[in-house]
Amino acid sequence: MKRLSRLLFLALCACTTALHGAELQIDRDGHQRRLSSAQLLADAHTQGITINLDVSYQRPMHYRAIAMKQLLPGLSQDDHLQLIASDGFVAELPAALLLNDKGSQAWLAIEDPAKPWPGLGKAADKASAGPFYLVWQNPEAAQIGPEQWPFRVVAIRQLAPLAQRFKQLLPAADASAAVQAGFAHFSKTCLACHRLNGEGDAQLGPDLNIPYSPTEYFNGDFLARYIRDPQSLRRWPQSKMPAISQAVLSDAQLAELIDYLRHMAGRKVQPQAR
């Protein structure tokens, strides 16, 4: 209930008005501040940028944006950030990715309430990617995946790294190199929507270990096929799980991810009541 209340609160914070725009909540080092879209658009560091192939819009897009390293001064390479979307999507990002001066560069795009971005999806009345959207220039340099482009962002939090916050996600210390690599793929690709053993902050998808791991009810290669294209196995118009292409997760990496899920099926921990 507390998590739901928090998400509802954050969603309310993101509601836009013609006069004030949206508010972005930033929690760092025990301090909280809120910045309106108007404040960010007026910031001296905000500039016009072009994203050659936007992940959400699937075409070139132009934004007013501020570099993440300018938005969060004093950020260290060892820090860890969490970007929370209004729908419960939670992107976990090591700060080192956001501080690059070369290669992939991270920007927070800011929607101007007076000039809203296009809606996402085919329906004209669908909401846009705003009010705040993490976008990347040259994403391929750091192998930035789609889950690292959170849109409809309402809050940014500086937290301890995943391995410190969520012990029940970790494979056994003597797990194989493939399983350890699979944990890294899970953290990058799956944790934005799913939890495991009740741990994680996302609210979109089901727990991937409790009560059952998908490795326990998908036979043969069906789990790999489902991850590649969920609609090929289950036709569900309201499904939000995207297809995970080989460009995002190679066949070898997908096999490692499934090795991790299979390994964790033997390490079930019932989540504590929330």
What pLDDT, on the 0 to 100 scale, is given for residue 19? 42
Per-residue pLDDT reduced to its tens digit, 25-41: 999 988 999 999 999 99
Question: Roughly how many angstroms between the first and final C-alpha of the chain, as a whole number?
Answer: 7
* Per-residue pLDDT in tens (0 to 9) along the chain, 274 residues: 444 445 544 554 444 444 457 999 999 988 999 999 999 999 999 999 999 999 999 999 999 999 999 999 999 999 999 999 998 899 999 999 999 878 899 999 999 999 999 999 765 568 999 999 999 999 998 889 889 999 999 999 999 988 889 999 999 999 999 999 999 999 888 988 899 999 988 878 899 999 999 999 998 899 999 999 887 777 666 666 777 888 888 999 999 999 999 999 999 987 765 5
What pLDDT, on the 0 to 100 scale, is given for residue 18? 41
Residue (of 220, 231, 228, 230) closest to 250 by Cα position: 228
Which residues lie across from 51 on neighbouring strands?
Answer: 61
CATH topology of domain 2-159: Sulfite Oxidase; Chain A, domain 2 (3.90.420)
Which residues lie across from 48 on neighbouring strands?
Answer: 64
Region(s) of the chain under CATH 3.90.420.10 = 2-159
- Would you state the structure tokens that stand for residue 72, as one six-digit string? 């969060």
Compute CA distances 214 → 18, 31, 207, 258, whole Å: 45, 40, 10, 9
Residue (of 202, 173, 172, 203) closest to 187 by Cα position: 202
Provide the whole-model pTM: 0.81
Task: For the beta carbon of residue 261, count every other beta carbon within 10 angstroms.
Answer: 24
Q: What is the per-residue DSSP string for 208-273? A: SSSS--GGGT--TTHHHHHHH-GGGT---TT--PPP--TTTS-HHHHHHHHHHHHHHTTS--PPPP
What pLDDT, on the 0 to 100 scale, is given for residue 214? 95
Its CATH class, for the domain covering 163-264, is mainly alpha
CB 97 within 8 A of CB 79: no
Region(s) of the chain under CATH 1.10.760.10 = 163-264
